[in-house]
Amino acid sequence: MYDSRLGNIMTEHITTPFDAASTAAQVVAGIDLTGRRAVVTGGASGIGVETAKALASTGAEVTLAVRDTAAGQRVADGIDGTVRVAPLDLADRASVAAFVAGWDGPLHILVNNAGVMAAPETRTPEGWELQFATNHLGHFALTTGLHRFLAVEGARVVSVSSSAHLMSPVVFDDIHFVERPYDPWAAYGQSKTANVLLAVEATKRWAADGITVNALMPGGIRTNLQRHVDPRQMESMIDQAVEQGFRVKTPEQGAATSVLVATSPLLEGVGGRYFEDCAEALPNDGNMVNGVAAYALDPEAAARLWQVSEETLG
Ligand SMILES: NC(=O)c1ccc[n+]([C@@H]2O[C@H](COP(=O)([O-])OP(=O)(O)OC[C@H]3O[C@@H](n4cnc5c(N)ncnc54)[C@H](OP(=O)(O)O)[C@@H]3O)[C@@H](O)[C@H]2O)c1
């Protein structure tokens, strides 16, 4: 966990005036990002829409990086401000490379928001497990590809993770479920742990360039994300989680922590951390709904994942 103001590792727990009930609009109220440029992956649905809306309201120019550009354009048309749409399929290396090649000029905010959850066993043409390929490898390729544009003082990368990271560390011995039976939740959890580890290692590598990267859990929000889960199973999982203190949020509330991490002056220079409900998460105490797992913030695992990702992507 890095704080450039102190030039060292910082352990103080960060809170803000916002909480689980705050909306993205409340978080960005009074923040002026005119002249700044932002990308939101998966900005055509769910919390990505609300994230883009809030960023555009600050005066930032927002690009929705989406695989369905017609849906992206419909969303863009409904947002006040400067909102562009560009094609991006995170599970397709050529598509990520084309997005990077098409980018020009500085990039101040990259919100790695797109994701797929609990999909049935699916593999990319390379044989990579789809959730890891989309949620982690695609965003890794995008983020490292855009690094030269991000290298502007105060640039922020936002890694949208999940409390589902508590379901699995990155299993380096069998990331793609070749040796072990496929489990859609273990695969999702692994990919969401990878999202946190990306924030840890990217901040370590890039803080000197003025770039910080943080991860977050948006909360539980009913969106298209649940499309692969039987509705009865989903409702039963939500009921169980609610009993443990989990609260279901609106998409406007679900985008609040992403937007906080992307824009708040309170987080200037802060990186390598995991937030939830608009505050830094506490260490997980064994429950399955909140807090951050030690393995997700482990610097050695973060460095290893970076190396494995580079090798995988060639
Ligand atoms: N909703 C929750 O309760 C919850 C909880 C914890 C974490 N999260 C995280 O929040 C993020 C946003 O989720 P959401 O709830 O807003 O779900 P959502 O409405 O399904 O949005 C996810 C977006 O990701 C896009 N996407 C999926 N695969 C892609 C690919 N290969 N290339 C490019 N884009 C792709 C989807 O595009 P299409 O529309 O084309 O499919 C969609 O726009 C995800 O990272 C998710 O893991 C959500």
In a domain, 21, yes or no: yes
Q: Which residues of 183-199 are buried (b: 16+ CB within 10 A; e: fewer)?
A: ebebbbbbbbbbbbbbb
At 10 the pLDDT is: 55
Q: Given the CA of residue 224, which atom of ligand 1 is nearest to it? A: 20
Task: For residue 245, report the distance from its CA to the centre of ligand 1, in Å.
Answer: 24
* Strand 37-41 with 109-112, pairing: parallel
Residue range 111-122: mean pLDDT, rounded = 98
In a domain, 182, yes or no: yes
In a domain, 255, yes or no: yes
Tens of pLDDT, residue by residue over 283-292, are 999 999 999 9
Q: Given the CA of residue 88, which atom of ligand 1 is nearest to it? A: 33
At 144 the pLDDT is: 98
Tens of pLDDT, residue by residue over 275-284, are 999 999 999 9
Nearest CA to ligand 1 atom 43: 42
39 lines ligand 1 (CB under 6 A): no
In a domain, 42, yes or no: yes
Tens of pLDDT, residue by residue over 215-264, are 999 999 999 999 999 999 999 999 998 888 888 999 999 999 999 999 99
In a domain, 58, yes or no: yes
Q: Is the pLDDT of residue 269 over 80?
A: yes
**Cβ burial, residue 201 (10 Å; 0-12/13-18/19+):** buried
Residue with tokens 């998966």: 42
Residue range 2-25: mean pLDDT, rounded = 77
Residue range 300-312: mean pLDDT, rounded = 98
Task: For residue 116, report the distance from its CA to the centre of ligand 1, in Å.
Answer: 5
At 6 the pLDDT is: 44
- Confidence (pTM): 0.97
169 lines ligand 1 (CB under 6 A): no
Task: Count up the domains in the chain and report the number.
Answer: 1
Q: Which residues are catalytic?
A: 188
Q: Which range of residues forms the domain containing residue 239?
A: 2-309
Task: For residue 44, report the distance from its CA to the centre of ligand 1, in Å.
Answer: 9
Task: For residue 114, report the distance from its CA to the centre of ligand 1, in Å.
Answer: 4
Q: Is the pLDDT of residue 5 over 80?
A: no
Tens of pLDDT, residue by residue over 186-216, are 999 999 999 999 999 999 999 999 999 999 9
In a domain, 249, yes or no: yes
In a domain, 283, yes or no: yes
Q: Given the CA of residue 221, which atom of ligand 1 is nearest to it? A: 3
SS (H, E, C) 134-201: HHHHHHHHHHHHCHHHHCCCCCEEEEECCHHHHHCCCCHHHCCCCCCCCCHHHHHHHHHHHHHHHHHH
| Distance (Å, whole) CA 218 – CA 259 | 10
124 lines ligand 1 (CB under 6 A): no
At 241 the pLDDT is: 87
Output the six-digit token pair for 161.
């993770």
Return the best residue to mutate from 45, 75, 257 for the ligand 1 pocket (most ligand atoms within 8 A of CB).
45
In a domain, 301, yes or no: yes
Residue range 8-33: mean pLDDT, rounded = 90
The CATH number covering residue 69 comes to 3.40.50.720
